[in-house]
Amino acid sequence: MTYLKIAGACKLNGQVSISGAKNAALPLIVSSILAKNEVQISNIPNVADIKTLFVLLENLGANYEFKDNFARIDTRNLSKTKAVYDIVRKMRASILVLGPLLSRFGSCEVSLPGGCAIGQRPIDLHLLALEKMGAKIEIKQGYVVASGRLKGTDVLFDKITVTGSENIIMAAALAKGKTRLLNVAKEPEVVQLCEVLKEAGLEISGIGSSELEIYGTDSELLNFKEFSVIPDRIEAGTYLCAGAITNSKITLKKVNPSHLSAVLSKLEQMGFGFESKEDTLTILPAKEIKPVEILTSEYPGFPTDMQAQFMALALKANGTSIIDERLFENRFMHVSELLRMGADIRLNGHIATIVGGSELNGADVMATDLRASSALVLAALAAKGESNVHRIYHLDRGYENLESKFKGLGADIKRLKEE
């Protein structure tokens, strides 16, 4: 296992290129199950979760090539419809194969993902929607066993779910007849999936709204055009927080600022400025870092995936900040690690009160989930002295070339082997 050694109290400068969005790439790669041709995708981030997904597809019988962020995926000879526990347990998003496998083959088995560090994260809404479309769903020996030809119908999601929406959009694509999806997630990643499917010939309307109408092809596969994955808004937000926590001017390249409205608005409230030109965005230092109040919610609200990074940043604010985590019940695992660095944070249920202004000290800390890990890296950059961030395989799941990107910005950061 490796860890990151990070020298603190640094100033950053320069430019960093933002990678393609992991959370967009995952459903887009899975959507190749619906294709009648080889699917070509560029700007795929080379991160562990993507590699896990390719292993899963290969296991089902797909052929693929993935090099220099470009993939060719051929699922025409898919021979199996069972997504095994050993792969699904590594990545919850594997559940995304359920909808497309079922709609293409009329039956499939997908291991239940199980719990994860940030909470229970059930998939009941995915299953209810498929049942509404006519699927028979059983849980057998830890697997979702699904069968039946899917028929278009009205599906109302009781709660907004990102992968749930994506799963059912892909299921509806090959279903028979019209599916109307209500209370659909509006995240840019969901929008890109819809746009790509539309380009591939799917009749779909309402893209970008919470109500979609999809005219299923009745099992006819789609003809995909080559496309490029949208920029990762969470990676971009994380680097903006790195600029902010070190109060440095840095420039992000290959970014889509319109996907970052909630994050930019909170950074502005905290005193930071921005300059933006086409696909670049520069964060300007604050005269005084002000405290902030954050409530996580679905897009276009403030993303839960940026909550941990803003908590680290709030430690540098001149006053007390409040973060209310509304989406995941256990997404404060980073708090106890930040406390080890001298942070003053109080937790009361889903509300964190962060008293800013006390000095952070370098320490050994342990990453617990993907975004919590990036908060620890940010805190380490701002702390006095050296920090070691352990268990960084969490970071490797979602951040491409993290050390080299930070080194390029002037940080002193090394990946070392645990003794």
Catalytic residues: 116
Provide, rounded to whole angstroms, the least separation between the CB of residue 12 and ligand UD1: 25
Q: Which of residues 153-172 bind ligand UD1 (CB under 6 A)?
A: 159, 161-164
Q: Which stretch in 39-47, 71-79, 299-307, 336-344 sits in contact with ligand UD1 by CB under 6 A?
A: 299-307
Distances (CA, A) of 180 to 53, 104, 175, 261: 28, 19, 12, 29
81 binds ligand UD1 (CB under 6 A): no
310 binds ligand UD1 (CB under 6 A): no
Paired strand residues for 144: 110, 139
- Which DSSP letter does residue 323 get? E
Provide, rounded to whole angstroms, the least separation between the CB of residue 229 and ligand UD1: 13
Rounded Cα distance between 220 and 107, Å, is: 16
**How does DSSP assign 58-95, residue by residue?**
HHHT-EEEEETTEEEEE-TT----EE-HHHHTT-GGGG
Provide, rounded to whole angstroms, the least separation between the CB of residue 170 and ligand UD1: 13
Sign of CA dihedral 356, 358, 360, 366: negative
397 binds ligand UD1 (CB under 6 A): no
Residue 228 in tokens: 């490029």
Q: Pick between residue 333 and residue 411 the one whose CB is nearest to ligand UD1.
A: 333
Quick check: helix, strand or coil at residue 288?
Answer: coil
248 binds ligand UD1 (CB under 6 A): no
192 binds ligand UD1 (CB under 6 A): no
Q: Pick between residue 232 and residue 337 the one whose CB is nearest to ligand UD1.
A: 232
Q: Is 86 exposed, middle or buried (0-12, 13-18, 19+ CB in 10 A)?
A: exposed
125 binds ligand UD1 (CB under 6 A): yes
Sign of CA dihedral 64, 110, 180, 259: negative
Distances (CA, A) of 123 to 22, 67, 166: 20, 32, 12
122 binds ligand UD1 (CB under 6 A): yes
Q: Pick between residue 341 and residue 370 the one whose CB is nearest to ligand UD1.
A: 370
26 binds ligand UD1 (CB under 6 A): yes
Provide, rounded to whole angstroms, the least separation between the CB of residue 283 and ligand UD1: 23
Rounded Cα distance between 214 and 176, Å, is: 10
328 binds ligand UD1 (CB under 6 A): yes
**Residue 382 near residue 245, CB atoms below 8 Å:** yes
Provide, rounded to whole angstroms, the least separation between the CB of residue 14 and ligand UD1: 28
Residue of 12, 16, 18, 23 interacting with ligand UD1 (CB under 6 A)? 23
**Residue 313 near residue 245, CB atoms below 8 Å:** yes
126 binds ligand UD1 (CB under 6 A): yes
Residue 367 in tokens: 């990453």
Q: Pick between residue 26 and residue 170 the one whose CB is nearest to ligand UD1.
A: 26
305 binds ligand UD1 (CB under 6 A): yes
Residue of 104, 121, 233, 405 interacting with ligand UD1 (CB under 6 A)? 121
Provide, rounded to whole angstroms, the least separation between the CB of residue 151 and ligand UD1: 21
Rounded Cα distance between 163 and 156, Å, is: 15
Binding stretches for ligand UD1 (CB under 6 A): 23, 26, 93, 121-126, 159, 161-164, 189, 303-305, 327-328
